[in-house]
Structure 1
Amino acid sequence: MDIQAVIFDLDNTLVNRQAAFKAYSEQFIDRFTVKTHPSERTELIEYMRVADRDGYRNKRELYQELLEKFNMKSGVTVDQLLNYWFEQFFRCTVLMDGAEHTLQRLKAKGIKLGVITNGSIRAQHRKIDQTGLRSYFDDIIVSDEVGCKKPDQAIFKLALERLGVEAQACLFVGDHPVNDIQGASKAGLTPVWLQGFRQWEPSVEAAPHTISRLEECLQLVEQLMEQHRSGAKPS
């Protein structure tokens, strides 16, 4: 079946969350902590990076830990830190290299485009709007809006239904071996692993396609469509 749609993960796929969190952490440290030595700033930023677990940490739990571990300025509360997160993190959003060019080219080919992202409604939609990419997508699904999240097959099948395409005609591009690659594969989509952000999970079957830059999606789509036209089996 020809490629009719490409669905993307958001964090560390269309946007570079690691770069965004580093920039946010620098602002956070300057805004809320009392530092006694210049080297302490670097140590605190690294502590935040590890404690955040690449976004998979409960935010209230994270900021309760930071409040207890860091030498905070007088009067700082967990609620204040949480409010700062929701009001400032999306402003630090960094578009992944080649993201807009990739979407432009795919759209020009008549391919439907979508996003499936785990996370809160407010945070994820704000990131998308910050990038200016919303108009490229035929559908955007945020897990908190629909009551299920990756790797649940239901969220992938919902996206297929909304886009009006069969699973075999859809690629899913993401960085997470379990949530993105295994989840998409079990739902019948063809997964594409964007490497460089997470280590591969040994328990997960190897992805059929691996890329190191988003723009490699363009060549992959061309290759798969050519195979479909010629009747050749994927290599």
Structure 2
Amino acid sequence: MAVLIAYLRTCKGGGEERIGVEIQRAAVEDWARRRRHQLAAIVSEAPSAGGLEDRHGLAEALAALHQGLAQGLVVYRLDCLDSALVAQEQLLAEVRATGARVHSLQPDEAAELRRIPADPSRQGVREVLRAAAAIQPQMAALRSRRRRHSRPGAGSPPYGYRIADGSLVPEPAEQAALVRIAELRASGATLREIARELDSNGHKPKRGERWHPESVRRIVERLEPR
């Protein structure tokens, strides 16, 4: 038996239909009862909650995990955490950092969560997130030096990030583009081919409207291990 926190948020089911929190609540309670898990709390997100910064229910659930009040987080499906794969992986990493596990009621997702994912898309996301995490200490030192030598507001964050309250935070849309760049490069695509693919799929560069091979090269050099 495990002590878990249930997180409910309206999300899409397997197709286009949306699964409301009441349906999720009944399903989660039944799932926990059959597996003899204890639900320490059931937190649901307000329909008006949009981005991660507005998710008060999610913040409450993560705070409880950090305090050791539960051993895991259960969701109806991973899309209920967030529909963006990059955001999902960031949230999964956040939960794992507390020593807790994430459980999904969907059998395929549950199996995936029990092992290192074989899904190439998730592998690509994790590679990018690991690369981003590895460079954070250097970036923190660089930001500190920049503040001493630059006027306030000077400079711009690297692709994949934005400035919030004076710190670098991931920008989900740009993180998704980083994942795609890593996948294409791993498959042998040239810089020009990657630029065309990013343009055709609506991924925007930090500046301007179109990608250029030189911009792609700078990002590839940043992502590739040295």
TM-score, length of structure 2 as denominator length: 0.30
- Higher normalized contact order (CA 8 Å, seq sep 6+, divided by chain length): 1
